[in-house]
Amino acid sequence: MEQVVDMVAVREIRTRLDEIAAEHPEAFQGRSINGWRGILEQLESDDMAKKTKLMLRLDQEMIDRLDDHVERLRRLHPGLDVTRSSAIRNMLHSGLERAEGKSEGA
């Protein structure tokens, strides 16, 4: 199975990793930047290989609401790489937990 790699996203992630390393050098003590990059790339590769891509269609209003939600999350969690995909996965997980009666207050 051929896997497509989004090189723009990879460059953005590497840039953000460099920023985090500059802001928090203590987090990288004992490891080189390239060492951490290798670990993160391996984890991402392993994780992505286990997932199935799902595509969906959204109207512009829903996309705008999603983008607003992503921006809220980025403001609430600076330094966290929040994407449309990660926000959708999080909301889907929360919604399924509620629908299945597994969340608090259900």
Q: What's the pLDDT score for residue 30?
A: 67
CA distance 28 to 35: 9
pLDDT digits (tens, 9 = 90+) for 57-106: 999 999 999 999 999 988 988 888 888 988 898 899 889 988 998 765 55
CA–chain centroid gap for 89, Å, is 9
**Which value, to the nearest 10 degrees, does the dihedral of the CA atoms of residues 31, 32, 33, 35 take?**
-70
CA distance 75 to 60: 23
Q: What's the pLDDT score for residue 105?
A: 54
CA distance 43 to 87: 20
Provide the whole-model pTM. 0.52
Q: What's the pLDDT score for residue 104?
A: 58
Cβ neighbors of 99 (< 8 A, separation 6 or more) are: none
Q: What's the pLDDT score for residue 21?
A: 78
pLDDT digits (tens, 9 = 90+) for 3-56: 677 788 888 888 888 888 788 777 766 666 677 677 777 777 666 667 777 888
CB neighbourhood size of 20 (10 A): 15
Q: What's the pLDDT score for residue 28?
A: 67
